[in-house]
Amino acid sequence: MSSCYQGKLLRVNLTNGTISTESLNQEYAREYIGGRGLGTKMYCEEVGPNVAPLDPANNMYYLTGPLTGTGSPSSGRFMVITRGPLTNTIASSNSGGEFGAEMKFAGYDGFVIEGKSEKPVYLWIDNDKVEIKDASHIWGKEVPDTTDLLRTETSERAKISCIGPAGENLCKFACILNEMNRAAGRSGVGAVMGSKNLKAIAVKGNKPVYVANRDRFATAITEATKALKDNPVTGAGLKAYGTQILINILDQSNGLPVRNFRDSGTIEWADKTSGEYMIEHKNLVRNKGCFSCVIGCGRVTRTFKPYAGFGEGPEYEAGWGFGADCGISDIDAICQANFRCNELGIDAISMPTTIACAMELYESGYMPKEDAGCDLSFGNAAILKELVEKTAYREGIGNLLAEGSYRLAEHYGHAELSMSVKKQEMPAYEPRTLQGIGLEYATSNRGGCHVRGYMTSPEILGIPMKLDPAVTEGKAAVCKIFQDLTSAVDAAGFCLFTTFALDADIIAKVLSAGTGFEYTGEELMKCGERIWNLERVFNNACGFTGADDTLPPRILNEPQKNGAYKGSVNRLHEMLPEYYQLRGWNPSGVPTAEKMQDLNLKQL
Amino acid sequence: MEIKYFAYIRDYTGEKRTSWNESVDDLADLLRQLSKKYGNKFRDAVFDEEQTDLNSEIIILVNGRHVQHLNGIHTKLAANDLVAIFPVVAGG
Ligand code: SF4
């Protein structure tokens, strides 16, 4: 039977140089779909909870979703699944761009990378021909140079996934850049790649991607495309303004964290850092989309003196991070720092939030001036670029910044100033304003993260329903549904932004017609729930407990000082017990035997 | 009263913000007054087709709170209120 899976995985062992292929396990594919789900399942089976993130035995799984590389709209994604050095949890980082589709065209659903090479290498995958090649001459190079050089060396048509100096230097939040500007961004997957001495993967292919039922698939993707085009967010807003448009609405809603979450959720100059301002100020050159995307939210941007540069982004979370979170109002400095993150291979959320933490440590007198090596006060735009570079090369204070905010703050005896969950920094939504996002952050399986549910959608944007951000009632149920849905969407290869317009039923139709496995919307949600629970079971086996499902003390205990939510803290205790109950977990956050059986899961 | 506009609503108003000193009863009243000033495009963006309720593709905040969680289009307004008007276009 034809299907949109290629049915084949590539396995490369960098320790002994062996290269092999194997068939996709169809049973796993049915239950875990692909991408994040299948990768986590394979990781749990093959590696398990007893391998440290930077140990050569920590495998990396580059996995596409079944829809990746098909004509399905906005579904060209792939994921990198491994155990992450920032959090020590399972780390699944999602990326757009063109790389995922090219993996499929080369004939693979995924690559499994094992072991560690003695010297720097890269993989060159040209359809069935796979080589491990010397990368000594590109080790140390930044992402744009690496990408260009490898295209010259392999093929102009090759798609390149690589790390920058940050990954080589094992920065704990190094990312992997795909086609220069699309990142598998969070949790330090780039450091895992660096620890293997693997600089890059170049891939090219010309194989077809079939679907199980062409007519049904065509009908389903027509319906999905129409829904995406008719929706105000996916049909117009994201294309016109990109995600940086969120700055003003979060600011006006008093949900914009300011200066390491120290100040309340609004700042008078927010508009100067907004998506609207970037158009007015001529930062925006044009918009850009990933493979098969009908939304096209990406931004090609430029900046002006004294912060001149050219690149892509920032996404809202990075723009907020270098902006309001660092107390910086200069959009050119913000964009330039984001460009440097992409060029050096650093997560553009954990970088600025770690700098914001350093700024508070410095202003509070906990970090000595000699350590800082510069004026680390909030608002000092001139130091951003240098701090990003120092982090990538682990120079001076950068050596501590490269450990992430938690280890940095702990070093100075004030771990409470790290605005992180499970040691990963929380992004751009104030949990004392948005109660539900607090629950989402606390329970995310990879630490502080906004794409493990996206409660901002109902709490601020009113999609698909309008929930009052200030109330806790009912949030646990919605959070669980969003977490399960986004797990399935990640696994399928769809971009998460499609969920503004597509519900589980439409996604299930596309997936069924493509894969030949029949899913109802309900079954799709169950797959998502299975993925979520497997991640949880893995984290629990690594030693995480319910006590880790928490938020920084500031968010739980320090009331907001002014604004619409003056006096509020996050009331996690009102949501968490209900959330555990709805999940079928015991009061310590452990899935019950019945829940495990229901989802066909086993203890690790 | 201060009123702020965002995204393409600014194309309809031609300004980012305005101070409104007329006497205003509730949000519906304010939006009617503003529609007279800015014209049909603005009116059609903020009101539904019957012009009795808010357009489903608009977000209006009064002092940082979504009017849906206050009293919707009938939310009472006072002289020193801050009103922010956004189209539903954002995602991130
Ligand atoms: S919506 Fe944006 S991030 Fe998602 S696939 Fe399209 S261009 Fe890429």
Q: What is the pLDDT of residue A509?
A: 98
- pLDDT band for position B91 (50/70/90)? low
- DSSP string over A10-72: EEEETTTTEEEEEE--HHHHHHH-SHHHHHHHHHHHHT-TTS-TTSTT--EEEEE-TTTTSS-
Q: Does residue A196 carry a pLDDT above 80?
A: yes
Q: Please indicate, yes or no, if residue B40 is contained in any of the structural domains.
A: yes
The confidence score (pLDDT) of residue A420 equals 98
pLDDT (tens digit per residue) in A404-438: 999 999 999 999 999 999 999 999 999 999 999 99
Please give the Cα distance from B61 to B40 (Å, whole number).
21
> Residue A555 is encoded by which pair of tokens?
């968010």
- pLDDT value, residue A237: 86
Domains delineated in chain A:
8-204 (3.60.9.10), 242-425 (1.10.569.10), 435-500+520-598 (1.10.599.10)
Q: Per the CB < 8 Å rule, is B66 touching A241?
A: no
**Residue A264's pLDDT is what?**
87
**Chain A contact for B1, CB < 8 A?**
no
Kindly state whether residue B78 falls inside one of the protein's structural domains. yes
Would an 8 Å CB–CB cutoff place B57 in contact with chain A? yes
For ligand 1, the distance from its centroid to the CA atom of residue A296, given in whole angstroms, is 5
- Tell me: the pLDDT tens digits for A52-97? 999 999 999 999 999 999 999 999 999 999 999 999 999 999 999 9
Tell me if A290 CB under 6 Å of ligand 1.
Answer: yes
Mean pLDDT value of segment A347-351: 98
**If we measure between CA atoms, which residue out of A355, A357, A362 comes closest to residue A333?**
A355
In this structure, is residue B77 part of a structural domain?
yes
Nearest to A540 by CA among A583, A492, A489, A484: A583
A497 lines ligand 1 (CB under 6 A): yes
| Residue A246 to residue B91, Cβ atoms within 8 A | yes
Domain extent at residue B62: 2-87
Give residue A241's pLDDT. Answer: 87
B53 touches chain A (CB under 8 A): no
Inform me whether the pLDDT recorded for A1 exceeds 80: no
Q: If you count them, how many residues does chain B have?
A: 92
Domain count, chain B: 1
Res A191 pLDDT > 70: yes
Q: Rounded to the nearest whole angstrom, what is the distance from the C-alpha of residue A494 to the centroid of ligand 1?
A: 9
Of ligand 1's atoms, which has the minimum distance to the CA of residue A76? 5
Residue B73 located in a structural domain: yes
The rounded Å distance from CA A495 to ligand 1 centre is: 6
> B80 in a domain, yes or no?
yes
Distances (CA, A) of A493 to A63, A78, A165, A263: 9, 6, 29, 38
Atom of ligand 1 at shortest distance to CA of A495? 4
Please give the number of the atom of ligand 1 that sits closest to the Cα of A291.
5
Residue A316, ligand 1, Cβ within 6 A: no
Substitution site in A78, A495, A496, A502 for ligand 1 pocket (most atoms within 8 Å of beta carbon):
A495
Q: Please tell me if the CB atom of residue A237 comes closer than 6 angstroms to any atom of ligand 1.
A: no
CATH of the domain at B33: 3.10.20.30
Q: What is the pLDDT of residues A246-280, one digit of tens each?
A: 999 999 999 999 999 999 899 999 999 999 999 99
Average pLDDT on A197-206 reads 98
pLDDT > 70: percent of chain A? 100
Quick: pLDDT tens for A446-495.
Answer: 999 999 989 999 999 998 999 999 999 999 999 999 999 999 999 999 99
Tell me, yes or no, whether B11 lies in a domain. yes
Q: Does B11 touch chain A (CB under 8 A)?
A: no
Q: Is residue B92 part of a domain?
A: no
Between CA A515 and CA A5 the distance in angstroms is: 7
A192 and A60 Cβ atoms separated by less than 8 Å: yes
